[in-house]
């Protein structure tokens, strides 16, 4: 019903719609749409505004302001519905706009916003006048603020000038006082410099005398220290020689005693093992024991022949380790790189030592595993397994040389078995009286 009263082509409506609304008028228009929005059903709303139907008025105006303004401008039916809601809410202002005489006391922005929504005759002039009025009000407010700011700055400038004059007078007074104090200090400084020069001259004289006394004392101390060092050096050499002599005697005696005792134990164990192996009769022979016969469980020559084994049979290693006081020396990396070279060195060591520990527990033999220290990139934190002695060669010494030293340290006659595929190692330990076996044979026995 208001649409028929809207401005036609001759009253500037088309031109007004092409221009943006003043900000104040637009905010009031959005608020009018937001207030009337809640009184419409979802079906009465444009499609783009239905998603805001459940929003509160404040949130609706905040988030859907642009969409509501666009719908009001492009959808005449929606604007007519909002206009009807506004007429119900503001009958006085609506009636005044319809009659063409808005209330003079009304806010121009409210009048312009209502005219934009209701579109009464002459609404374009009302909106334009409201925009111009708002601009004039903003300009007047800006002028008033500028004048107030200018007045405040003038007051601050006057205060700053007064403060500057006060500070200048105070600084002049302080400068004069400081100048007088500086002159007094200069006089005192000249007097003090004279005293310092006399003191420095006296100090240089005393320092010269002290230097002479100190030089003489240092010469005497140096002579005494030289004599003391010479005597201490001679005493240290004598004590070192005496300790070396005592250690050599003690070590020689202890090593020889150990070798003799180990050899004796080896001979005794070998004798007992030989008696058990050959089933020798006791020393006191009885007549019944001289009769030629075969007893149950006694081996015959045929049985003995059947015991012959291949030189690659791991059972040979078991027979060697069953000898009394047998000592197995293992060339560690030679064995691991023969059996499982693809594994890291640390895992190679752990696997071999675990297998050797089980072998030592089974046979009761002494087991020593030697690794080359040159293969190490860092110190090894390794707890040797039970029954296995783990050794690493020192810097400049190979594992092969360490194995030969171990063999030479054993007394002659003790069974020593060396597991290594290195031909040089095998030949060297064989010359020293040890029995070399191939690494492959040890790996077969361990597996």
Q: Which of 130-134, 212-216, 356-360 is predicted least confidently?
A: 130-134
User: In 3D, which of 434, 214, 175 has the Cα closest to residue 329?
Assistant: 434
**C-alpha span between 5 and 83 (Å, rounded):** 12
Greater confidence, 172 or 78? 172
pLDDT over 60 (residue 141): yes
Residue 40, token pair as written in the block:
């419409």
Q: What pLDDT is attached to residue 103?
A: 63
**Average pLDDT, stretch 436-446?**
92
Kindly report the average pLDDT of the chain as a whole number.
78
Q: What number does CATH give the domain 312-446?
A: 3.40.50
In this structure, of 71-80, 140-149, 203-212, 307-316, the range with the lowest mean pLDDT score is 307-316
Residues 6+ apart with CB under 8 A from 129: 108, 112
Beta strands in 294-404 (DSSP E): 327-331, 366-371, 388-392
Percent of the chain with pLDDT over 70: 78
**Whole-structure pTM value:** 0.38
Q: How far apart are the first and last CA of the chain?
A: 106
Dihedral angle at the C-alpha atoms of 125, 128, 132, 137, nearest 10 degrees?
A: 90
Give which of 324, 336, 328, 362 is closest to 434, Cα–Cα. Answer: 328
Q: Per-residue pLDDT tens for 19-77? A: 566 777 778 777 777 777 777 777 777 777 777 777 777 777 777 777 777 777 777 88
pLDDT at position 232 is: 86
| Chain-centroid distance, C-alpha 23 | 57
Give the position of tokens 């903003």: 138
Is residue 126 predicted with pLDDT exceeding 80?
Answer: no
Mean pLDDT of 154-181: 91
Count the alpha carbons within 13 Å of 376 in the hemisphere toward its beta carbon: 17
Interval 342-387: pLDDT, tens: 999 889 999 999 999 999 999 999 999 999 886 665 666 677 888 8
Give the residue-averaged pLDDT of 302-318. 65
List the beta bridge partners of residue 416: 327
pLDDT at 56: 78
* Neighbouring residues of 196: CB distance < 8 A, sequence distance ≥ 6: none
Q: Provide CATH 3.40.50 ranges for the chain.
A: 312-446
- Section 336-342 average pLDDT: 93
| CA–CA gap between residue 425 and residue 401 (Å, rounded) | 8
Joined together, the tokens standing for residue 441 give 């044979």
Instruction: Give the model's pLDDT for residue 344.
Output: 92
Mean pLDDT of 260-265: 76
Dist. CA 430–CA 326, nearest whole Å? 15
Q: What angle do CA 67, 93, 135 make, to 5 degrees?
A: 65
Closest-CA residue to 304 (of 326, 280, 324, 277): 277
Q: What is the pLDDT of residue 304?
A: 42
Lowest mean pLDDT: which of 42-46, 227-231, 293-297? 293-297
């Amino acid at each position: 019903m208001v649409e028929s009263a809207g401005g036609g082509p001759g009253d500037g409506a088309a031109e007004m719609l092409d221009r943006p609304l003043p900000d104040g008028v637009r905010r009031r228009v959005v608020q009018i749409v937001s207030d009337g929005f809640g009184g419409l059903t979802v079906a009465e709303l444009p499609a783009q505004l239905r998603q805001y139907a459940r929003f509160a008025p404040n949130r609706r105006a905040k988030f859907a302001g642009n969409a509501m303004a666009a719908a009001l401008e492009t959808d005449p039916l929606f604007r007519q519905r909002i206009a009807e809601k506004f007429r119900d809410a503001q009958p006085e202002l609506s009636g005044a706009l319809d009659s063409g005489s808005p209330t003079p006391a009304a806010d121009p922005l409210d009048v312009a916003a209502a005219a934009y929504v209701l579109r009464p005759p002459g609404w374009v002039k009302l909106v334009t006048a409201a925009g111009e009025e708002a601009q004039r009000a903003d300009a007047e407010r800006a002028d008033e603020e500028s004048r107030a700011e200018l007045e405040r700055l003038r007051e601050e400038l006057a205060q700053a000038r007064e403060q500057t004059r006060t500070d200048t007078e105070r600084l002049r007074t302080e400068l004069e006082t400081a100048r007088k104090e500086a002159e007094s200090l200069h006089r005192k400084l000249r007097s003090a410099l004279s005293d310092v020069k006399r003191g420095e001259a006296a100090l240089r004289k005393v320092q010269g005398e002290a230097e002479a006394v100190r030089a003489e004392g240092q010469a005497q101390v140096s002579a005494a220290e030289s004599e003391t060092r010479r005597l201490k050096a001679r005493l240290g050499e004598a004590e070192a020689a005496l300790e070396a002599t005592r250690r050599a005697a003690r070590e020689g005696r202890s090593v020889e005693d150990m070798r003799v005792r180990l050899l004796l134990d080896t001979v005794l164990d070998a004798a007992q093992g030989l008696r058990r192996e050959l089933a020798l009769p006791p020393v006191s022979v009885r007549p019944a024991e001289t009769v030629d016969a075969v007893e149950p469980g006694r081996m015959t020559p045929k049985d003995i022949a059947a015991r012959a084994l291949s030189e690659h049979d791991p059972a040979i290693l078991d027979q060697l380790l069953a000898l009394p006081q047998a000592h197995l020396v293992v060339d560690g990396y030679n064995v691991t790189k023969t059996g499982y070279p693809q594994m890291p060195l640390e895992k190679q060591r752990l696997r071999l030592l675990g297998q050797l520990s089980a072998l030592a527990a089974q046979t009761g033999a002494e087991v020593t595993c030697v690794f080359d220290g040159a293969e190490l990139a860092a110190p090894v934190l390794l707890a040797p397994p039970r029954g296995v002695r783990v050794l690493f060669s020192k810097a400049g010494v190979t594992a092969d040389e360490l194995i030969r030293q171990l063999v030479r340290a054993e007394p002659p006659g003790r069974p020593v078995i060396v597991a290594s595929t290195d031909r040089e190692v095998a030949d060297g330990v064989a010359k020293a009286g040890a029995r070399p076996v191939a690494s492959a044979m040890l790996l077969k026995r361990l597996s």
